[in-house]
Structure 1
Amino acid sequence: MIRAYRAELLSVGQDPRDAPDAVRHEPDGLLVIEDGIVIARGPYADLADQYAGIEVETLPGLVVPGFVDAHVHYPQTDRIASHGEQLLDWLDRHIFPAEKAFVDKAYADGVAAFFLDELLRNGTTSALVYPTVHEQSVDALFEAALERRMRIVSGKVLMDLGPEGLKDTVASGRAETEALIRRWHGHGRLGYAITPRFVLASSDAQLADAGALLAEHPEVLMHTHLAENVRECAAVEERFSDAVDYLDAYDRFGLVTPRSVFAHGIHLSDRACGRLHESGAGIAICPSSNLFLGSGFFNFGKADAHKVRLGLGTDIGAGTSFSMLYTAGLAYQAALAREDKLDPFRALYLATAGSAALLHIADKVGALEPGQEADFVVLDCAATPLLARRTLEADLAERLFAMQILGDDRVVARTYVLGQCAWQRTSS
């Protein structure tokens, strides 16, 4: 089935720092979709005759690719806005007790359904997602994602040093991981990620086995945390006293590869940044959670100097919003705190094609180019009275920046998955 949409179209398929012509903008564009795949895109005047026989739906607003959340925890949904602690104490007090409930598959089903609907409500159509240590938490997420036709990557958390009720063993972690890869990887739009929680949560034996699993399954990702919080970094240094730095604690187990996605990376040495570039691994920047937990501000200048691959993540539930627009606005503020300036088009790139590249799905989503899956969002720059006033007669860059700084879920008018409307804002 062929569908055609007329709208203002915007995408940033490459990092504009490296590609000055990366911004693609059609003020009056036509997007043509067949069986969920973009088959044509360009100015309406150029394509209208070619597709004259196709009914065209006009979309009011700015159409951008569906957002790609490069790091988020679905089991932490109900612990968002939990007061009073930095990372390690926050995990012990709020998160580990909450995650124990995911031993119950029915409970996991309910949270997974709400979580994915909330992603869609915020315009996020693809994500790299942490579940829990429980195999059934992965099943719940993937089942719900398959039903919604979303592009989701996830994998059972490995943590044999976790608290009672929230830990596995080297043997059970391997067996469950291998079973889940067979069951889910490549099924529909789903992908798998080998997921050690972080280097302190696993024994050396489990970290080594995670590296072995990654080598045995080169088609999957590796997803974990890195250099998020000062106290965490000190604990890693104490345990791995012979490591050069935090990244080296992963590297010695074969976990730093082109398919490795590390969340945070706030407190990184120049050596570590150089190694990330050399390996092809990348960082999912999470400014909302970094601010909420008092962890610090990501160093864009250092990462860019070493040409580290970057994406953007909400990191729910330390992150305080599912909105990638809001998260992009916080990334701008985090950059400015270190005297770097994040251009609004680059921020959009990080929230779409940049995160897609980090997740190795840039051939599928992120830029709304012909051949890609037709996941996109309709943004309303007049969603609130303040936004409407601020964007009146503003140019494209100003409108986009205003939505990143002043916007949130209210700006998302519709979310499309594979060319079909998956969520639509109802009038109040």
Structure 2
Amino acid sequence: MHKNAFAIHGDIVWSKNPKELQTVEGGYLIVVDGISKGVYPQIPAEYQGITVVDRTGMLVIPGMSDIHVHAPQYGFRGLGMDLELLDWLNTHTFPEESKYANPEYAWRAYQIFSDDLLHSATTRAVVFGTMHVDATMTLMGKLETTGLKTMVGKVNMDRNSPDYLCEKDAATALEDTKKWLDEVEDSHFENTKPILTPRFTPTCSDELMEGLGKLRAERDLPLQSHLSENLSEIDWVKGLCPWSTCYGQTYEHFGQLAGDQPVIMAHCNWCPDNEVEILKENNVFVAHCPQSNAQLSSGIAPIRHYMDLGMNVGIGTDVAGGATLSMFRAMADAVAVSKLRWRLVDQNLAALSTEEAFYLATVGGGKVFGKVGSFDEGYEVDALVLDDSQIKTPLELTLAERLERYVYLAEEGGRIVEKYVAGRRVL
């Protein structure tokens, strides 16, 4: 008998590759020590007798990795959607994030965020905090207890920010970041890990960027930021860094892209060829945030181009630029905006399919965390059990069609019955 082994029985769907789904109706997903041993139409002889979680008739799919979301912005999601990026930051984002200097406010707000993230389709997330060390530790502590796997960043910003939300100088910002990293190490978190987080080049001085690059190398840390989201932002960077050949070089120049730990750049809507080459050479993850890009009038990322080049691409909800934590909505939006880009911008780049969007939300973003996002043997098992019985139709649907329908109609009768992270049930 295998210890720490069980099977989930249901209608199982996962990505065979970016363009194809693998489906097993009435199949058995075998999990041993949190790792997939494969999906079978019947339980193999060597696993006979293990516990079976019987979810007959329900969809079983991999969990999803949201690789770009702002926890402190969750409270004002759905507000300010008539503004463009830079006005939106000054009107809503910066005033809200300043409230996290108050420990009580941070505790209440992050409790709401953590609870809602736990009950969403997200099993792993890459999260922005604020510049405040104590609040960021509060966020990490609350996410730790959910059982979700997360990376959380204390934001760095020492210039071009309002007085009420700006670090004193680069030295202070780096000192606080090191203090935060030491506190994280002492806390021995199992589920949530630190990630260096320069907000974006306009709010980080050259001295701070250089210091973060050195810190990344010294402590072997991942890093997240924003890149080429908005045309006004790109022009701003040109003025601030006239020595650079492109926005992406402002990160590369200071050693922030080098190293083995993952780097995630959100948006990448307007990357010129030399910037794309920098991202590709450094294996940077592009966090595609379709809803945010649309609602803040930022642009439409050429995701088809990045995928054709074999680049790392995942999906982010980018709350509160995106109004919801739903990765199903994010997938649907990724398909929709790719159609608009194909029709209105570049007909050489075909629109994304639902299968491709599903791959990005599961395997694509999961790569940030390792072998995550698939049910192939050897992958950590993050899984969602979905009841789609109340999304009613007279049609006889295949498993692929049921998944596609769920992506678009998750809020119309869909229900997450169970949620597993690294083989452990968290919901």
Question: TM > 0.5 between the two?
Answer: yes
Residue 135 of structure 2: aligned partner: 137
- After TM superposition, give the deviation of residue 410 of structure 1 in Å: 5.2
Q: Does the alignment pair 1:63 with 2:65?
A: no
Q: Which residue of 2 aligns with 1:228?
A: 229
Give 5+ residue unaligned stretches, structure 2. Answer: 343-349
Whole-angstrom distance in 1 between the partners of 2:142 and 2:5:
26
1:335 aligns with 2:338: yes
- The counterpart of 2:366, out of the listed 344, 348, 356, is 356
Q: What is aligned with 1:190? A: 192
Deviation string, structure 1 residues 77-109 (Cα, Å, up to 9, x no partner): 011112231111100010100011111223222
1:408 positional shift? 4.0
2:255 maps to which residue?
254
- Structure 2 match to 1:240: 241
The 5-angstrom pairing of residues 120-199 of structure 1 reads 120-161=118-159, 162-168=161-167, 169-184=169-184, 187-199=189-201
2:46 maps to which of 31, 47, 50: 50
1:326 corresponds in structure 2 to: 329
Tell me the number of residue pairs that the alignment of Structure 1 and Structure 2 aligns: 408
In 2, Cα distance between equivalents of 1:342 and 1:383: 28
Matched residue type, 1:54? I
Match of 2:388 in 1: 381
**1:308/1:372 CA distance change after superposition, 3 Å:** closer
The one-letter amino acid paired with 1:127 is A
* Other-structure match for 1:6: 9
The DSSP-based 3-state class of the residue aligned with 2:232 is helix
Question: Of the candidates 401, 406, 409, which is equivalent to residue 409 of structure 2?
Answer: 406
After superposition, the CA RMSD in angstroms is 2.1
Name the residue aligned to 1:393. Answer: 396
CA-CA distance at 1:174 after TM superposition: 1.8
CA distance in 2, matches of 1:410, 1:320: 20
- Supply the distance in 1 between the matched residues of 2:250 and 2:18 (Cα, whole angstroms): 33
In structure 2, how many angstroms separate the alpha carbons of the residues matched to 1:215 and 1:57? 44
Mapped partners of 1:119, 1:149: distance in 2: 11
Q: How much has 1:46 moved relative to structure 2? A: 4.3
Deviates more, 1:342-351 or 1:150-159: 342-351
Question: For the residues of structure 2 that align with 1:154 and 1:410, how far apart are their CA atoms?
Answer: 32
Instruction: Rate the CA distance shift 1:412–1:38 in 2: closer, same or farther, 3 A.
Output: farther
CA contact (8 A) 2:78 2:323 kept: yes
CA 1:413–1:383: 2 relative to 1, 3 Å = farther
Distance 1:372 1:183, change over 3 A: farther
CA–CA distance in structure 2, aligned partners of residues 380 and 257 of structure 1:
43
Query: Which residue of structure 2 aligns with residue 417 of structure 1?
Result: 421
Per-residue CA deviations over 1:225-254 (Å, capped at 9, x if unaligned) read 011112111211222223211112222222
Q: What SS class does the counterpart of residue 45 from structure 1 fall into? A: coil
In structure 2, the CA distance between the partners of 1:323 and 1:180, relative to structure 1 (3 Å rule), is same
- Provide closer, same or farther for how the CA distance between residues 369 and 179 of structure 1 changes in structure 2, counting only shifts above 3 A: farther
2:206 maps to: 204
For 2:36 and 2:330, how far apart are their aligned partners in 1? Answer: 31
Q: What's the counterpart of residue 277 of structure 2?
A: 274
One-letter identity of the residue aligned with 1:353: V
Structure 1 letter corresponding to 2:421: V
Aligned counterparts of 2:423 and 2:257: Cα–Cα separation in 1: 36
| CA 1:410–1:320: 2 relative to 1, 3 Å | farther
For 2:299, which of 296, 301, 304 is the aligned residue? 296
**Structure 1 residue 403: Cα displacement:** 2.0
CA 409–197 in structure 1, closer or farther in 2 if over 3 Å, else same: farther
Residues 192-229 of structure 1 deviation map (CA, whole Å, 9 limit, x = unaligned): 211000100111111111111112122x2110001111
Contact 2:36/2:381, CA 8 A, preserved across alignment? no
Tell me if structure 2 keeps the 8 A contact 1:274–1:306.
no
> Aligned AA for 1:417?
V
Amino acid of the structure 1 residue aligned with 2:206: D
- Aligned partner letter, 1:115: F
Aligned counterparts of 1:372 and 1:184: Cα–Cα separation in 2: 27
Cα distance in structure 2, aligned partners of 1:410 and 1:122: 15
- Where 2:163 maps in the other structure, the secondary structure is coil
Deviation at 1:39, TM superposition (A): 5.0
**Letter of the 1:177 counterpart:** T
- Tell me whether 1:102 sits opposite 2:100 in the alignment: yes
Report if the CA contact (8 A) 2:30-2:39 is conserved: no
**Percent same amino acid among aligned pairs?**
29
Offset, 1:418: 4.3
Any idea what SS the aligned residue of 2:47 has? coil
Equivalent residue, structure 1, for 2:30: 32
Corresponding residue to 1:75 among 72, 75, 100: 72
Residues 39 and 376 of structure 2 are in contact (CA less than 8 Å); yes or no, is this contact kept in structure 1? no
Cα 1:269/1:400, change in 2 over 3 Å: same
Deviating more after overlay: 232-241 vs 279-288: 232-241
Q: Is the 8 A contact 1:10 1:24 kept in 2?
A: yes
d(CA) in 2 for partners of 1:400, 1:305: 24
Q: Distance in 2 between matches of 1:189 and 1:216?
A: 22
User: For residues 96 and 140 of structure 1, what CA distance do their matches in structure 2 show?
Assistant: 19
TM-score scaled by length of structure 2: 0.89
CA deviation profile, 1:17-66 (whole Å, cap 9, x unmatched): 5xx6xx4332222123345x13533224242x433323322114111111
Which deviations, in whole Å up to 9, do the C-alpha atoms of 1:249-274 show, x marking residues without a partner?
22222222362210000011111112
The structural deviation recorded for 1:131 is 0.3
1:50 alignment partner, SS class? helix
